């Protein structure tokens, strides 16, 4: 789920948890989440091979962009592409949509699901 907040958010009072993809375990993203003051939960993780994305969903040009980013996508890969500044943010948003729609947990991700 995506949420938009207008104004400040007090995580200790207004959020039950921050839910992260397991690709962020042990990274600066997890460390930053730990400082928010609310629980951290982990979902099973989303990965997709670009070859498994239907080009009719967001268009063949978006699949071509996804292919330039990597053969397999996860949130960390898409995030790194966004921070690189080399790609149109709206196009990367569509790549994210593809990951969200076609991405599936992998067996190695499922073992990492945990709650703090």
pLDDT tens over the chain, length 116 residues: 567 788 888 999 999 999 999 999 999 999 999 999 999 999 888 899 999 999 999 999 999 999 999 999 999 999 999 999 999 999 999 999 999 999 998 655 444 444 44
CA distance 58 to 63: 8
The domain spans of the chain are 11-44, 48-105
48 is written with which tokens? 């997709």
CA distance 58 to 98: 7
HSE-up of residue 63 (Cα within 13 Å, Cβ side)? 14
């Amino acid at each position: 789920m995506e949420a938009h907040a207008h104004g400040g958010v007090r995580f200790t009072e207004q959020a039950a948890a921050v839910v992260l993809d397991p690709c962020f375990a042990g990274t600066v993203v997890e460390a930053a989440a730990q400082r928010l003051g609310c629980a951290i939960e982990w979902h099973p993780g989303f990965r997709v091979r670009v070859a498994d994305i239907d080009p009719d969903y967001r268009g063949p040009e978006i699949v071509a962009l996804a292919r330039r980013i990597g053969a397999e996508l996860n949130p960390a890969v898409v995030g790194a592409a966004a921070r690189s500044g080399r790609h149109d943010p709206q196009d990367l948003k569509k790549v994210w949509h593809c990951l969200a729609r076609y991405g599936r947990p992998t067996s190695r991700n499922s073992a990492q699901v945990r709650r703090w």
